[in-house]
Amino acid sequence: MVKDLQKGDDRPDAISLPLPSVPLTDNQMDILFANLVDDGGRLRGEIANILNGKPEETGQLLVKLLREKGPEDPEVGAILQLWTRQQEKIVEAANTSEAAIQFNLRRARLYFEAGYKDEAWKNFEAAHTQAYQEGMDELMHAIDAEENRLFPPQ
């Protein structure tokens, strides 16, 4: 018997996941982790890497999964949320604007590598805007250069 992630009740059939756009609670993440099954436990291992503070080791897997299955896939969405949550904890621990900007850049690069150009652009722009607002001119210019390299002017 598994728990339904949306309702929190026990069901004898399969696990039910919310849409990836709905953030999972810690309890829902625990239920997902407990019930996640795939090809030889690969995703289970990657989730363990994220939970153990190794989100950088999961970036390339996320790129691959986003390319293959897309963010609408429940497992991919859950792993992306877990990676995001871990990244947010790093930002909170650092408690600096630069950490928040670097997180947006990591997320932008992940989306770009996975082929989600619009999402990548939004995250690059968020990083650029924050760098501008914080008066971090050197970082802002580095972001400009990366944006121009990845998104050449037409």
Q: Are residues 88 and 28 in the same domain?
A: yes
Q: Does residue 40 share a domain with residue 4?
A: yes
The whole domain housing 69 covers 1-95
| Domain identity same for 73 and 139 | no
Q: At what angle do helices 74-94 and 42-51 cross, to 10 degrees?
A: 20
Q: Are residues 17 and 44 in the same domain?
A: yes
Shared-domain flag, residues 90 and 140: no
Pair 84, 105 in one domain: no
Query: Do 109 and 68 belong together in one domain?
Result: no
Q: Which residue has the tokens 């989306």?
A: 111
Whether pTM > 0.85 for this model: the answer is no
Kindly report the number of other CB atoms within 10 A of residue 30's CB atom. 12
The domain boundary, picked from 78, 95, 112, lies at 95
- How many whole angstroms from its chain centre is CA 117? 15
**Cα-flanking dihedrals φ and ψ of residue 62, to 5°?**
-60, -40
What is the number of structural domains in the chain?
2
From 100, 104, 106, 30, select the one nearest 63 (Cα to Cα): 106
Query: In angstroms, rounded to a whole number, what is the distance separating the alpha carbons of residues 116 and 111?
Result: 5
Are 123 and 153 contained in the same domain? yes
Q: Which of 47, 66, 95 is the last residue of a domain?
A: 95
Shared domain for 85 and 118, answered yes or no, is no
End position of a domain, from candidates 51, 79, 95 = 95
Say yes or no: 139 and 154 in one domain: yes
| pLDDT tens digit at each of 154 positions of the chain | 333 333 333 333 333 333 344 455 666 555 555 555 444 555 566 666 655 655 566 677 788 889 998 888 888 888 888 888 888 888 999 999 999 999 999 999 999 999 999 999 999 999 999 999 999 999 999 999 999 999 998 8
Half-sphere exposure of 45 (CA within 13 A, CB side): 7
Identify whether residues 14 and 47 lie together within a single domain.
Answer: yes
